[in-house]
Structure 1
Amino acid sequence: MIGKIIGAFVGDRIAKQTSGVGGATGAAVGVVAATVLRRMSLPAMLALGAGGYLAKRYFDRQSAQGETSTPPVASTVPRKTKTAKPAKVA
């Protein structure tokens, strides 16, 4: 029971820092994460932690390289604009 409360608290805190996830959704994710972690083996937890650390380093390095390189190319897809209907000629 205490684990679910702590998981809900941590999930709520994470939801406040993450866009697109509300407080109640974050609390539910925290409870589910606590349940999943409880059922995982120790090697799986270590692999998950190492994978998360490596992914964070990779994405941080990619964002650091992106700041010094050229800006991304704008989309080449034409925008849809409202066109006036042609006038009827009598």
Structure 2
Amino acid sequence: MIGKIIGAIAGKQASKHVRGIGGTNGALLGVAATTVLRRLGPLGLIAVAAGGYGMKKYSEKRQAETRKATRSSGYIDPTRTQA
């Protein structure tokens, strides 16, 4: 019971950082997540944490590559108003 309450609070706080999920939906998501995590056990928790860390690193690597590809050369191309 206490775990579900803590999960609801954590889900509500996490929903502030995710677009499209409100406070109530985040709380329900937090309760569901605590139930699933409890069933996974300790090895499942380690696997989920490792997967989340790997996904974060993969996402950061892709963002760095797209920033590198879109970086300008430093020269400004003249516009129509500049002659």
Q: Secondary structure at the match of 1:54?
A: helix
Look up the match of 1:27.
27
Shift of 1:40: 0.9
The list of structure 1 runs, each at least 4 consecutive aligned residues, that deviate by more than 2 angstroms after superposition, is none
1:21 Cα deviation after fit = 0.5
Please, which runs of 5 or more residues in structure 2 have no aligned partner?
A: 72-83
CA contact (8 A) 2:8 2:28 kept: yes
C-alpha separation in 2, matches of 1:70 and 1:8: 40
For the pair shown, which has the larger CA radius of gyration, 1 or 2? 1
Gap regions ≥5 residues in structure 1 = 72-90
Q: What residue number does 1:74 align with? A: none
In 1, are the aligned partners of 2:37 and 2:44 still within 8 Å (CA)?
A: no
The 2-side partners of 1:54 and 1:48 are apart by: 10
SS in 1 for 2:21: coil
CA drift of 1:68 comes to 1.5
CA distance in 1, matches of 2:39, 2:26: 20
TM-score using structure 1 length? 0.74
Q: Which amino acid aligns with 1:24?
A: T
Distance 2:6 2:55 in 1: 25
- Which residue type is aligned with residue 4 of structure 1? K
**One-letter identity of the residue aligned with 1:2:** I
Q: Name the structure where helix makes up a greater proportion of residues.
A: 2
Q: Supply the RMSD in Å over aligned alpha carbons.
A: 1.3
